[in-house]
Amino acid sequence: MKHLLSAADLDREEALTLLDTAEELASVTDRAVKKLPTLRGRTVANLFFEDSTRTRLSFEAAAKRLSADVITFTAKGSSVSKGETLKDTALTLEAMGAQVIVLRHHASGAAQRLAESGWIGASVINAGDGTHEHPTQALLDAYTLRQHLRGGSGDLQGLRVVIVGDILHSRVARSNVALLTTLGARVTLVAPPTLVPVGVESWNCDVTFDFDDSLSDADAVMMLRVQSERMNAAYFPSAHEYSRRYGLDSMRAAQLPDHAVVLHPGPMNRGMEITAEVADGPRALIVDQVANGVSVRMAVLYQVLSSEEGAA
């Protein structure tokens, strides 16, 4: 695996290899020495054109646990404000020795462009490109679901996952539909009609506008953030109406089966798509997701960097 650009590129075997690798790497966190020497001497560059807390910190922690060096670039306060392009910024990072570029960009397709344009020889990991994909988020969600509902091994055959909210702007939803269905889960998207993307009928999932209908047989509910920063029009009448119809409160959580779990990729708008009571409740795996994110990203960095020369 030279690059990781899209969750849709992963077949079942590759996805399971990544999850199994992450499962073994997770045990490093419990040791006295929380570090492996595997990527000693390699350099990972975080190239972030868009704001991020979890993803950037998580990639940084993952790279450091594997003993790689980390260079972090954030667009704010850089020469991007002077008009420097993605290409020149990436060339700069590669000239400083980066073998992997972890890219987050506001333009959909930016990671693929960087990987396939021939500008650089480094590997590219997509850490979120516009409203397109966020493959490592889907991997950590699949890992978290597998850990809690499948005992930490095998695939997600037959699991029913409901993804609720701003599907239109959500790269998390897009990546999750691709990966979870590859692993055998059945995905239902729930959103107001204005927040369902055009062409969704070609996705491998069901779509409904009624949240309450899909609660009783869900094994997992994944709540999405309403991405007001990407909204240039009125997609719903008011925040209050949105949270009444599509928010997860304790009334709705009570209708879920006993074993069902609640996920949220963060950052949360508490009170909007999820109430604080549910977010801090026993079903919520939101903190687990963050912890698992580090293990999953260690697995991705290991796969990408260890095949770098071998596959050539």
Partner 1 sequence: MAAARVLEADDVGRVIGRIAHEILEKSRGSSGVILLGIPTRGVPLARRIADRMASIEGHPVPVGSLDVTMYRDDIGLRGPRPLSATDIPAEGIDDAIVVLVDDVLFSGRTIRAALDAVNDIGRPRAVRLAVLVDRGHRELPIRADHVGKNLPTSLAESVQVHLVETDGVDEVLLGSRDAS
Q: Which residues bind partner 1 (CB under 8 A)?
A: 1, 17, 20-21, 24-25, 27, 31-33, 35-39, 66, 302-303, 305-311
Nearer to partner 1, 199 or 310 (CB): 310
| Residue 104, beta-bridge partner list | 48
Q: Are 288 and 144 in contact (CB under 8 A)?
A: yes
- Rounded to whole angstroms, how far apart are CA atoms 176 and 161? 10
- Rounded to whole angstroms, how far apart are CA atoms 252 and 247? 9
Three-state DSSP at 62 gives helix
How far apart are CB 303 and partner 1 at their closest, in Å?
5
Nearer to partner 1, 37 or 83 (CB): 37
CA dihedral 245, 249, 252, 257 (to 10 degrees): 140
How far apart are CB 59 and partner 1 at their closest, in Å?
18
Nearer to partner 1, 140 or 221 (CB): 140
Nearer to partner 1, 99 or 214 (CB): 99
Q: Are 109 and 133 in contact (CB under 8 A)?
A: no
- Rounded to whole angstroms, how far apart are CA atoms 69 and 119? 22
- Rounded to whole angstroms, how far apart are CA atoms 226 and 10? 27
How far apart are CB 33 and partner 1 at their closest, in Å?
4
How far apart are CB 94 and partner 1 at their closest, in Å?
17
How far apart are CB 114 and partner 1 at their closest, in Å?
21
Nearer to partner 1, 79 or 153 (CB): 153
